[in-house]
Amino acid sequence: MAASCAEKPQVTGQVLFKQTYPSGHLETIISLVGFSESDNQARAIHIHEFGDLSNGCDATGGHFNPMNVSHPGHPGDFGNFTPKKGKIKKHRKNIKATMFGPNSILSRAIVIHEQQDDLGEGGNPASLINGNAGKRLACCVIGIDIFKIAQSKHFFYLFSSVKQ
């Protein structure tokens, strides 16, 4: 299944996910390019509720929060990432989200925001919902990479290709 992607400045790349079994830990590899070489603004990356890109990144809804907990404790929170030389390249383990069951991240959106996440410490109601992360710069829908599944005996992969 191909990832459907949209929007703003010139950020492109992939976000790969790996989870070996339903109760296992989710890992992600984030590889994004297209930030200004001089850009050192940390960017929040979140999973959003919907994989709807009909109105660009604005149609993806709020942060994915199936347990309705205050920010930053929900599965949609990936944290902040600072570009280096125009790129974000990170590997994270023990992500709170899952690829399995009713709270799966499959078919939801990944959104890269213009600002860093204040981790719920911004002192206003929005901080506890979205971390005051600002506008949505780029987004894409999480889909299954059938080719990777066929090649692997041990892992399932979800992927998202972020495109402008």
Active site residues: 46, 48, 63, 71, 74, 77, 113, 136
Residues 82-85: contacts with CB under 8 Å, at least 24 apart: 82/40, 82/41, 82/42, 82/43, 83/32, 83/35, 83/36, 83/39, 83/40, 83/41, 83/43, 84/40, 85/37
